């Protein structure tokens, strides 16, 4: 029975990966890469991240001034930071009601 459950879990992971690939492929947005200061970009997202994570999560932002610069699309970097924050929130243990 354990093997069956493991196969179902792996199938679910494959479905998740396929869905992500389809979503990435279907995006028809034009990329506009430019030189970005990562520390500044993350700092400007702080208020939005706090609202996104909810009031039961205490966000402490320590963006180093020396993160450096990258050549990237700002909206994609913002999406990455938001996904990381939401994934971290979702991975936190919850108190029993």
pTM: 0.65
Residue 4 has pLDDT above 70, yes or no: yes
CA distances from 42 to 23, 80, 81 (A): 24, 11, 8
Asked, for residue 21, whether it belongs to a domain, the answer is no
- Count of domains for the chain: 1
Interval 21-45: pLDDT, tens: 677 667 655 667 899 998 888 888 8
Please give the pLDDT value at position 85.
92
Asked, for residue 14, whether it belongs to a domain, the answer is no
Residue 92 has pLDDT above 70, yes or no: yes
Residue 71 has pLDDT above 90, yes or no: yes
DSSP structural state of residue 55 = T
Weakest-pLDDT range from 8-17, 36-45, 83-92: 8-17
Which residue range is the domain that position 47 belongs to?
30-91
Asked, for residue 34, whether it belongs to a domain, the answer is yes
Higher-confidence residue of 91 and 67: namely 91
Backbone conformation region of residue 68, classed left if phi is above 0, alpha if psi is from -120 to 50, else beta:
left
Asked, for residue 75, whether it belongs to a domain, the answer is yes
Please give the pLDDT value at position 30.
61
Question: CA 61, CA 64: separation in Å to the nearest integer?
Answer: 9
Asked, for residue 45, whether it belongs to a domain, the answer is yes
């Amino acid at each position: 029975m354990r093997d069956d459950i493991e196969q179902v879990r792996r199938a679910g992971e494959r479905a998740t990966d396929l869905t992500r690939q389809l979503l990435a492929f279907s995006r028809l947005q034009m990329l506009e890469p430019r030189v970005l200061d990562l520390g500044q970009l993350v700092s400007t997202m702080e208020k939005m991240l706090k609202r996104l994570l909810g009031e039961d999560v205490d966000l402490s932002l320590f963006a180093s001034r020396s993160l450096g610069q990258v050549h990237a699309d700002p909206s994609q970097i913002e999406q990455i930071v938001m996904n990381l924050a939401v994934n971290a929130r979702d991975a936190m243990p919850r108190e029993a009601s």
